[in-house]
Amino acid sequence: MLAVIALGSCTQDADKVKEIEQEVLDIHDEVMPKMDDVMKLKQQLKTKLANLDSLQQEGISSNTMAEERIKASDLNRQLVLADSLMMEWMYQYRGDSAKALPSDQAMDYFNKEKEKITVVKDKTLKSIKEAEGFLDR
């Protein structure tokens, strides 16, 4: 009887580990395609900054242009951060190794990874939204 209960408990724990791991991977899979948007927006901001620099070299200068340049640079930094956070998360992710851990440790690992990848998602989506809003005006 105890063996049946223990086996059932292990199966439930393994299912919970698989479930939280899938949640982590689903968040990653939702955000990863957005990295193409990040790269495109970084290029668009780079072009915008070059245009602003060109105007300044021609002697056209204003507070508005200076503010635009500062904003474009800041948005570019946010996009670079989002990209680097994703690359760092992927480099450090050890899902296969975590599955070999006892269930409670694996659950802890995947819960922490879920928190990390959620931060990556939030920063990525926010930086994309802000950059698009800036470039669309």
* 53-109 confidence digits (pLDDT tens): 787 766 666 777 888 999 999 999 999 999 999 999 999 999 999 999 999 999 999
Domain boundaries defined on the chain: 20-135
Q: Which helix (H) or strand (E) holds 5?
A: helix 2-31
Instruction: For the chain, give the mean pLDDT.
Output: 89
The span from the CA of 16 to the CA of 26, in Å, is 15
Dig out the tokens for 96 from the structure: 């296969």
**pLDDT computed for residue 2 by the predictor:** 46
The residue among 127, 104, 108 whose CA lies nearest residue 45 is 127
